[in-house]
Structure 1
Amino acid sequence: MHRYRSHTCGELRATDVDTDVRLSGWLHNRRDLGGVVFVDLRDNSGVVQLVVRSDSPAYEALGSLPRETVLRADGRVLRRDAENANPELPTGEIEVQVGDIEVLGTCDPLPFSVFPEEKVNEETRLTYRFLDLRRARMHRNIQLRSAVVASIRRKMTERGFLDLQTPILSATSPEGARDFLVPSRIHAGKFYALPQAPQQFKQLLMVSGFDRYFQIAPCFRDEDSRADRSPGEFYQLDMEMSFAEQEDVFGVIEGVMTELFTEFAPERETTSPFPRIAYRDALARYGTDKPDLRATLELVDVSHLFADSDFRAFAGKHVRALPVPGCGGRPRSFFDQMGAFAVEKGAQGLAWVRIADDGTLTGPIAKFLTEDVTTRLIADVKGEPGTAIFFGAGEESEVGKIMAEVRVEAAKRADLFEEGPFRFCWIVDFPMYELDDDGKVEFSHNPFSMPQGGMEALRTKDPLDILAWQYDIVCNGVELSSGAVRNHSPEVMYEAFRIAGYPKERVDEEFGGMVRAFHYGAPPHAGIAPGVDRIVMLLADEPNIRETIAFPLNGNAQDLLMGAPSEVDEARLKELHLSVRTPPAKAPKP
């Protein structure tokens, strides 16, 4: 028999009754009934019940060992009495009568309970992440992640994509976030950059003739943490395909995502094809380019109704209305709670009216609306008696941001929100350029994207009117990825960058490898890179992305388990030609 085990804990079944087995795992739980001790033994595969009686040499040890001790147990598989079977466990029909045990790993007093699970602050959880990962929910999440990645690899390979790896040490690239820099020991004063994404390399693979590429790519960005974004590093399904247009990418990703989400969440609906929503339409209808389509409500721009209004709260402002059918009869507390939610999200308040049975408006601001505005408002929002209408007013971008969240919250409170399905969509037709805070033209998305209309659009259109072949994939309000049809023409690329303030010399300096390659026969190509961490977060139904990563950094970009980032001694700094300048201490607040 194997030194440590003949079977795993989770694989034993009624068919194994009367079999002698050897198991190894963690002491998960114990129940001492006086003369009989029941122990749940856990390993990666599951839990099995051990039973040891007072006449067994293992009785005293099993009765006193602390939880999370690692032990080996030898015994015989018995069938449980029908009344003692546990239908909630795959191993619930059997138990193992123990004859001998061996302690393989002792356990100090635990900083928190692995089982039963107790609420623990994140700092403690991440400091003792190896214990946190033993807990059932976290263990399932990491197992799910492994299975999802394996499935993605199969699905991409079946579609003719090659799993290729791109460099980790490379040059800096303007991907929209800060690079992590790595000093060179050999080349004094120079730095490598960890890739924010394999963008240029995957395009070079297309130029190299590989046609269809993918990898589960590690990406590194020195950016702040959010619930749906882990600081430091993340993983994405990076893919690129030659001789492809936007719809070709959509076809591949829709197929992979639909199969993937159906495979791992079969009880939750996932349908395709995914709706295509233009960027500007998304902002107008949902207030965001990451709409949660489980909420069936839509916003309506009613600014024109109040352009010359005497109602000073709305006059001359951007005004967005949210009609909510069937809520006109709700108690005042419904409206007060929605107002409090909007204030929590940054609004000064949330105006509202409701449509009465006779077609008139009631509510706090109804008296400020003229008969003409009332008639036109009801028509614009397609309101019916019993409809409540909420309003946001102010600067367009801020109103959209707040009303996007009000839309989802109102849908949930009004039972107009679908909890179960995964609602995917594509956001398309992004603007190629935007203005920065100083009024200068800059790229609004990926600078390597092909402008719609090509060179003619770049030379004849106002830059702010040029659309790009760029797209995002969104699921349940979470952006999974951005992608684009790539610019593969050196001449078009030079012109696109010129408009954004990059002279030809700078383009050659910063992107010389890729531009040089485009002079030697570059195929049209397109790609995308859905985030693996976010996919698993959705499938695991977790609100925070760190719950799906084995060893994440905390919100301050620290590894509390390993102590990173850490100081480096002077000898190492000297070897890397570096010196450290400590920022001055902040003055105390008066």
Structure 2
Amino acid sequence: MGEALNGLKRTIMCGELREEHVDKTITVMGWVQRKRNLGGLLFIDLRDRTGILQVVFGEEINNDAFIKADSIKPEYCIAVTGNIVKRESVNENMPTGMVELKAESVKILSESETPPIYIKEDLDAAESIRLKYRYLDLRRPDMQSIFHIRHKAAKAIRDFLDKEGFLEVETPMLTKSTPEGARDYLVPSRNYPGMFYALPQSPQLFKQLLMVSGFDRYFQIVKCFRDEDLRANRQPEFTQVDLEMSFVEAEDVMTINERLVSYVFNEVLGVEVKTPFKRLPYKEAMEKYGSDKPDLRFGMEINDISSVVEGIDFKVFKDALDNGGSVRTICVKGGASMGRKDIDRLGEFVKTYKAKGLAWIALKEEEIKSPIAKFLKEDEMNGIIKTVGAEVGDLVLIVADKNSVVFQSLGALRLELAKKLELLKDNKEFNFLWVTEFPLVEYNEEEDRYQAAHHPFTCPMDEDIPYLESEPGRVRAKAYDMVLNGEELGGGSIRIHDSKLQEKMFNVLGFTSESAWERFGFLLEAFKFGPPPHGGLAFGFDRMVMFLSGTDNIKDVIAFPKNQNAFCPMTEAPNVVDTKQLQELGISVREKEDN
């Protein structure tokens, strides 16, 4: 049974003790990391969120405390009072390793069963166990370090934006469903039977309304919700750094967000981030890297050899070009040493991205090897090699298909090769860039209509507005994504503030005037009253913390995350509710029918 504090106060944290505290009487409280009994002396490593302190109990120091300490087990929560002394055996691997606490008294505040997971750094345990006992997982020093970083990052963001004149304004969690994108999480209303609130996928419409309200500069660190199938590093609820500005153009928004990110990385990590960031138009990003979030920490750019192979009588190339596609390559420096099995695996890899296959040319010292050599004349082969800048020892990989397949497969192959060749193994670089001029809309073949690539309120580039109704597919948006090391860190756009242009946009997206007003009427009504030009951006805060803390798992940076099935093993949510609760909402539940 645990003892009460009875007025005992902690005077200092375990990890704060240093040589200057020698000869001082202190009280520390925390959890027992481990215990070592050496006969007349007993050592306990005591842990709190600041670090570990060695505590020594001795029969000669205080026999009663020694006897009580002998009953203590790992993860007991205890309070210890005593004097700080210099350690005879210094531990240079611990910040507190020069001193130890000579215990005069100890209170066992609460006992602990044997934990189902070890409370230690670099834990190798199943994710399901870690999530089920998350409160124990969070005791681990490396996890607590992550949440210290998360706190510092949030504070740095607030400090920077406050100095820049932004106001933090909270927007509703219970709002109207405006389905256009991922599925909403719905919340039934007791007061309005048969009607539902939606949890926000983002505060998009509300932050635009705040611009109409004249707030000028708004931000919020806010929870967002999306009911979608989870992929790696996606969660059903996530945190967003959301901001909006009035009377700005795209460059204004990008510049202030560069400065924000630079400030945060410097405050949290002491890293100097160089600005301005590189700007890369979407079209160039796709053509060079096969991705709208390219990793520029290594080369291996994609080359278009369509014009070089145009006259070659090779069916794979000819069919791709005849169907409006292209033939493109990446050159792997030193890749000619790869074995045939490795290259065949790369061929299977690109097939997962709908490529029909992978042609290759290996420039070995003694000869050129290629399964397509028999289809090419010598000058045609040399033309390809010269165009891609390949040299002896290099491997040229070729995909021929429609552009979307070529970009996707070579973009993924480029990243796969970087892993395989360990090009980024020791790379600690933070490579930021902006991808700009995204397509305004994309064609949904299943629904036979255009849909907004970003959202329906994204403004088109001024020079592309004449094509909005006649050739919507060629219209570029005033949209921009901040990319870091091949991951989208944040994205935003300049919004439409002209009602006539907004009406055209709705027409392109297949909305009737009635359906547009049904979904977005409260915003359209507000736009009758002098909306300012405005734009903004939202960062994925969880992803930012991943970069700052050096983890590649988004669950590590969220205190109580869901698993890949959007389930919480700790609380067992979602779960059934009482029939009475359902009756109050006018809801009955029926079993899902098998398809």
- TM-score, normalised relative to structure 2: 0.92
CA distance in 2, matches of 1:345, 1:28: 48
Q: Deviations over 1:103-127 (max 9, x none)?
A: 1111012111113754211111111
1:144 aligns with 2:149: yes
Structure 1 residue 552 displacement after superposition: 0.5
CA distance in 1, matches of 2:225, 2:311: 50
Letter of the 1:265 counterpart: L
Partner of residue 235, structure 1? 239
Residue segments in structure 2 that go unaligned for 5+ positions in a row: 1-5, 321-325
Partner of residue 302, structure 1? 305
Partner of residue 36, structure 1? 41
CA distance in 2, matches of 1:340, 1:263: 45
SS of 1:57's equivalent? helix
1:489 aligns with 2:498: yes
Q: Following superposition of structure 1 onto structure 2, how do residues 66-215 of structure 1 map, counting pairs within 5 Å? A: 66-81=73-88, 84-115=89-120, 118-215=123-220
SS of 1:58's equivalent? helix
> Of residues 418, 430, 438 in structure 2, which corresponds to 1:411?
418
1:296 and 1:411 in contact (8 A); partners too: no
SS of 1:206's equivalent? helix
Structure 1 residue 325 displacement after superposition: 2.8
1:295 and 1:412 in contact (8 A); partners too: no
Structure 1 residue 400 displacement after superposition: 2.2
1:458 and 1:496 in contact (8 A); partners too: no
- Relative to structure 2, which stretch is displaced further, 39-48 or 404-413? 404-413
1:53 aligns with 2:58: yes
Partner of residue 281, structure 2? 278
Partner of residue 386, structure 1? 393
Q: Deviations over 1:432-459 (max 9, x none)?
A: 1221124322222221111112794255
Partner of residue 252, structure 1? 256
> Of residues 362, 366, 391 in structure 1, which corresponds to 2:369?
362
CA distance in 2, matches of 1:2, 1:421: 50
CA distance in 1, matches of 2:487, 2:536: 19
Structure 1 residue 305 displacement after superposition: 4.1
CA distance in 2, matches of 1:242, 1:283: 31
CA distance in 1, matches of 2:567, 2:364: 56
Letter of the 2:430 counterpart: F
SS of 1:91's equivalent? coil
Letter of the 2:242 counterpart: D
Partner of residue 424, structure 1? 432
CA distance in 1, matches of 2:125, 2:288: 40
Structure 1 residue 421 displacement after superposition: 0.6
Letter of the 1:527 counterpart: G
> Of residues 563, 584, 589 in structure 2, which corresponds to 1:575?
584
Partner of residue 288, structure 1? 291
> Of residues 311, 314, 324 in structure 1, which corresponds to 2:332?
324
Q: Deviations over 1:213-250 (max 9, x none)?
A: 101011111112222211x2111110000000000011
CA distance in 2, matches of 1:400, 1:309: 22
Structure 1 residue 460 displacement after superposition: 6.0
Letter of the 2:162 counterpart: T
SS of 2:252's equivalent? helix
CA distance in 1, matches of 2:495, 2:121: 52
- Relative to structure 2, which stretch is displaced further, 332-341 or 57-66? 332-341
Structure 1 residue 9 displacement after superposition: 0.8
CA distance in 2, matches of 1:118, 1:442: 45
Distance change >3 Å, CA 357–CA 119, structure 1 → 2: closer
2:464 and 2:476 in contact (8 A); partners too: no
Partner of residue 451, structure 1? 460
Distance change >3 Å, CA 175–CA 87, structure 1 → 2: farther
Partner of residue 17, structure 1? 22
Letter of the 1:496 counterpart: M
Distance change >3 Å, CA 585–CA 62, structure 1 → 2: farther
1:290 and 1:474 in contact (8 A); partners too: yes
CA distance in 2, matches of 1:235, 1:368: 54
2:353 and 2:405 in contact (8 A); partners too: no
1:430 and 1:470 in contact (8 A); partners too: yes
Partner of residue 314, structure 2? 311
Structure 1 residue 101 displacement after superposition: 0.7
Structure 1 residue 92 displacement after superposition: 1.1
Distance change >3 Å, CA 460–CA 505, structure 1 → 2: closer
SS of 2:539's equivalent? coil
1:559 aligns with 2:564: no
**Sequence identity (%):** 39
CA distance in 2, matches of 1:341, 1:38: 55
SS of 1:197's equivalent? coil
1:480 aligns with 2:489: yes
CA distance in 2, matches of 1:457, 1:3: 75
SS of 1:240's equivalent? strand
Letter of the 2:283 counterpart: R
CA distance in 1, matches of 2:257, 2:197: 32
Partner of residue 526, structure 2? 517
Letter of the 1:271 counterpart: K
Partner of residue 361, structure 2? 353
Structure 1 residue 333 displacement after superposition: 6.9
SS of 1:530's equivalent? strand
CA distance in 2, matches of 1:522, 1:29: 63
SS of 1:238's equivalent? strand
1:296 and 1:416 in contact (8 A); partners too: no
Partner of residue 266, structure 2? 262
Structure 1 residue 512 displacement after superposition: 1.1
SS of 1:407's equivalent? helix
SS of 2:43's equivalent? strand
Residue segments in structure 1 that go unaligned for 5+ positions in a row: none
CA distance in 2, matches of 1:312, 1:66: 73
1:27 and 1:69 in contact (8 A); partners too: yes
SS of 1:542's equivalent? coil
Distance change >3 Å, CA 396–CA 102, structure 1 → 2: same
- Relative to structure 2, which stretch is displaced further, 468-477 or 300-309? 300-309
1:183 and 1:576 in contact (8 A); partners too: yes
SS of 1:150's equivalent? helix
1:169 and 1:192 in contact (8 A); partners too: yes
1:24 and 1:43 in contact (8 A); partners too: yes
1:297 and 1:416 in contact (8 A); partners too: no
Q: Deviations over 1:492-529 (max 9, x none)?
A: 11110111110112111211111111111110001000
Aligned pair count reads 581
Structure 1 residue 150 displacement after superposition: 0.9
CA distance in 1, matches of 2:210, 2:496: 14
Structure 1 residue 265 displacement after superposition: 3.1
Partner of residue 500, structure 1? 509
CA distance in 1, matches of 2:353, 2:467: 39
Q: Deviations over 1:175-222 (max 9, x none)?
A: 411111111111111111111000011011111111111010111111
SS of 1:294's equivalent? coil
Structure 1 residue 257 displacement after superposition: 0.9
